[in-house]
Amino acid sequence: MKEKPLQQLERIRERVEYVFALAGNPNVGKSTIFNRITGMGVMTANYPGMTVEFNLAVTEMDGRRIGIVDLPGTYALGAVSEDQLVARRGVLQGRPDVVIVILDANNLARNLYLLLQFLDLRCPVVAALNLVDQAERSGTHTDVELLSEFLGVPVVPTVGIRGDGLDELMHQALALAERREEYPIIPFSYATDIESRIRRLARRIERKMGDLPYGLSPRALAILLLEEDEEFLAALREQETGAEIVAYAGSMAREIEREHGEKAALILARERHGIAGSIAASVQERKEREKARWGERLWGYTTSFKSGLPIAVAVMGLVFLALFWGGGELASLFSRFWENVVGGPAQRWLESVLGAGTWTRSLVWAVDGLGAVLEIALPYLLVFYVILGVLEDSGYLNSIAFLSDRVMHRLGLHGRAVIPLISAMGCNVPAVMGTRVLSTRRERIIANTLIVLVPCSARVAVIMGGVSRYAGVLPALALFALLFAVVLGAGLFLNKVMPGESTGLVMEMFPFRRPSLLNVLKKAWMRLKDFVYIAAPLIVAGSFLLGLLYESGWIVKLTTPIKPLAEWWLGIPAVALLALAFAFLRKELALALLVVLAAQAIPGIAESSSLLDFMTRGQIFVFALVCSVYIPCVATFAVLWKELGGRATLAVTGSTVLLALLLGGLAHLVLALF
């Protein structure tokens, strides 16, 4: 079946001589190396039905054009999680000429497991031993030549953040690609009884079957079948000969289980870990140091519950303040720029060319919508992405994930989900994108549902500008407490009703390091452009539609069919519910649009009127509650659709709308009693 990522890869293949794939775990600096090699000229690819992406780019080396595929960060290749599955498919279906496996010199044994799996698949491999500078400073020296001899593949020491060793790495990969070896020699073997069964099964596969899936070697397929890999078992069961091979592999796996008391897949995994540990112990020498480095000491403080929790609270408080203060300052700066340089001149130009009619005024709404992207969304996103890059490159995100893991498990998530949830207070769009770090679709659905319930800066503005200003500080604080309870209750409920359970938290824990400003800014731009490409066109189009309805006078006519729901159940004016509906475009419009609509629909109300002129304090509370609970904006909806697909996005959207109406109605009934 021709799939989108393969179509993109084929287009790249037409322009290049070789394709290299980068693989490694999420914390080994793989993305940094990819950015250094490619210069960031990338496009993303996504397998149908999956949210995990990989990046594609083209670069040049010695006059050769080379395609680079940055596979998802993963610790292993399998079908356990989407990142593992996409990484494996990227190699098997994409068939790169060389796989460059990035290893962490500080955690060599843990990282070698992935490389051994690539060798089992008979992929041409070059290893980059990254972070060697940190390893040396911590007293760990690696004999690179001996490591290369043990693995049977070229090994190049690198420092990705500085670019050290990357030219040599690419030269080694290019030399290996030019040799065009069909299958590399496997430099290791498993225990005698396991190895004998692998070879027997491989011989049977070679005799009985013709073309193997993805062009695998018989040995590679034999190992996958003994590991009971569901993807390959299902593919072979559809063929008559394949079904026979599956049955034979099943009998061998049962023999191994009877002899060892454990499943064959577990035995093979343990064998690989043993081989990786043995190789690492043979090639690395560790020296005792009298004094721990600052990064190691800081790592100890931030992962201890006694000191780590206060530090985490302080850091998250600083992040929150930076989002509001830094984002606010940038928003003011961008707002002045837009009004003086773009927005004002554009409006005058449209009026001079098209006149002052309905279409012109609607186009001005569209221009204002584009201005809102620059003035409101981009400043907060830019600040957040820079902060996120610093936290990632320093290694502090691991400490946060470790500390919050126990609490997050109760919500059906693990520690890594806490960062997207916190970032949702700035903007839900990058928070949704941040859920890509979660391993399973179940976790991403739960996390994204909770994210859209977390009040972003736009909804906080509605609460502060509406409830706090007109009803008082205590009602505003009560509303924030209610929203926190809603998020907590939703997580507990989803964890209970959704099938499956949260995965364990597996990550490398390494000492802190100094982040690279250039790398932080590059990653911020890579993330920011996703929002610009996805959300900005929708906001502009939605603003034009809203302007057309308003300027033509149709918008007020829409209040008639929604009166029963607004006035009977929620106890608010119909124009307030209409303002909530159109706030789906941009939540910060809710209050301004409410007064504008009231001026058209309610006699005696002007656009300069106060909310208290046509709404009670209780009605303002209900209005802000409904606004804060239902799905935040069209940009978040679009990103959710991209990450989760249509069905899940509609389910999340529908459930938040129903929840908002339910809570709003109950709040109206409770307030009516007082």
Please say whether the beta carbons of 103 and 280 come within 8 A.
no
User: Would you tell me which CATH number, out of the four given (1.20.120, 2.40.30, 1.10.287, 1.10.3470), belongs to the domain 192-286?
Assistant: 1.10.287
CA dihedral 307, 313, 314, 315 (to 10 degrees): 100
Q: Please give the Cα distance from 133 to 345 (Å, whole number).
A: 54
SS3 239: coil
Please identify every stretch of the chain with a pLDDT value under 50, giving residue numbers as ranges.
Answer: 1-3, 43-51, 290
- Amino acid present at 262: E
Domain 4-179 fold is Rossmann fold (3.40.50)
Tell me which residue has tokens 């066109």.
537
Residue 499 exposed, middle or buried by CB count within 10 Å (0-12, 13-18, 19+): exposed
In the chain, where does the domain assigned CATH 3.40.50.300 lie? Answer: 4-179
Q: What is the pLDDT of residues 480-520, one digit of tens each?
A: 899 999 999 999 999 888 877 655 555 555 567 777 787 78
Helices (H), 440-516: 441-453, 457-462, 473-497
DSSP single-letter state for residue 164 = B
Phi and psi at 248, nearest 5°, equal -65, -40
- What length is written for the chain? 674
In the chain, where does the domain assigned CATH 1.10.287 lie? Answer: 192-286
Q: Which residues contact 463 (CB under 8 A, 6 or more apart)?
A: 455, 476, 479, 480, 624, 628
Q: What is the pLDDT of residues 232-269, one digit of tens each?
A: 888 888 887 888 899 999 999 999 999 988 899 999 99
Supply the pTM of this predicted model: 0.67
pLDDT for 127 equals 96
Please, what is the Cα angle at 488 between 487 and 493, to 5 degrees? 100
CA nearest to 74, candidates 21, 149, 18, 124 = 21
Please, what is the Cα angle at 258 between 257 and 264, to 5 degrees? 10
pLDDT for 299 equals 66
pLDDT for 534 equals 64
Return the percent helix, strand and coil in the chain, to nearest 5.
70, 10, 25
Q: Which residues contact 516 (CB under 8 A, 6 or more apart)?
A: 32, 161, 393
DSSP count for the chain of H helices, then E strands: 32, 9
Compute CA distances 492 → 33, 425, 466, whole Å: 40, 20, 30
SS (H, E, C) 354-395: HCCCHHHHHHHHHHHHHHHHHHHHHHHHHHHHHHHHHHHHHC
pLDDT for 654 equals 93
pLDDT for 250 equals 92
Encoded tokens for 580 = 């909530």
